[in-house]
Amino acid sequence: MRHWRLPDTHNIRDLGGYPLASGGTTQWRRMLRGEALHTLTAEGLSGLIESELALVIDLRGPHETGLHIHPFADHERVGYRNIVLFDALSPIALAGPSFDMAQRYCDALDQCGPQFAEVFRAIADAVPGMVLFHCTAGKDRTGVVAALLLANAGVAEEDIVADYALTASATGLIDQLRTRALSTGSDPMQVERMLASDAATMERFLAALNTKHGGIKAYLSAIGLSASEVDAVRDRLC
């Protein structure tokens, strides 16, 4: 099941079922990507816990995490890590008319290596069970982390791009974010640009990963991850 149909959520998705270069597929119920979780109902929370959720990685910045209490921040059974990833992307109002989302993703490879490494280590060190990582919309910060995890697993680029583009189908969430942004006086064209999940954006990110950074293995090594850490993350998904 690609989309997890939890009450009051729109964009929680499983990274399982993608074909691997080595044969087989990524495993279901190992890693989930998603949006902000403060809207989860008791039913949704129970569904995740009963599915053996072990760790939640929150990629949002303090101006976001301070708005609502995170349901897993002090949970007795589920670990919680807040690893802030390119926080400047969060408020739509910060994006100027010339903002280039794809370039921002590419810049993150240069500027956010320590944070990416921290995410990988958190996953490698997590107790057995599912890992769920999320930002606000489950698109940008979540999207680049998902891309790195899938690339590390050996998933084809076309499937990584397709996974990224699926956020466009989360129309309920996109509508909410659009309404919220427009209510602050943001430019409508700017809002649409920020909310888009164009395949070309992820294609440029993967091209930068391969051409500028030598591919996923070279990049993960360059940001300080050991071979055993990289393998541990791959094994959790595969």
Task: Tell me how many domains the chain contains.
Answer: 1
> Which H or E run includes 118?
helix 113-125
Q: What contacts 191, CB < 8 A, 6 or more positions away? A: 92, 178, 181, 182
Q: Using the CB atoms, write b or e for 184-196: b if 16+ within 10 Å.
A: eebeeebbebbbe
Tell me whether residue 7 is in a domain.
Answer: no
Domain that includes residue 49, residue range: 13-237
Whole-number Cα distances in Å, 161 to 49, 73, 115, 116: 29, 31, 22, 19
Tell me whether residue 8 is in a domain.
Answer: no
Tell me whether residue 95 is in a domain.
Answer: yes
Give pLDDT, residue 80: 98
Give pLDDT, residue 167: 82
Tell me whether residue 124 is in a domain.
Answer: yes
Q: Any idea what the CATH number is for the domain that residue 128 is in?
A: 3.90.190.10
Give pLDDT, residue 169: 67
Q: What is the mean pLDDT of each run of 10 residues along the chain (238 residues)?
A: 85 96 97 94 94 97 89 96 75 58 91 97 98 92 97 98 84 67 68 73 97 99 99 98
Q: What contacts 213, CB < 8 A, 6 or more positions away? A: 109, 219, 222
Angle between helices 199-211 and 157-165 (to 10 degrees): 140
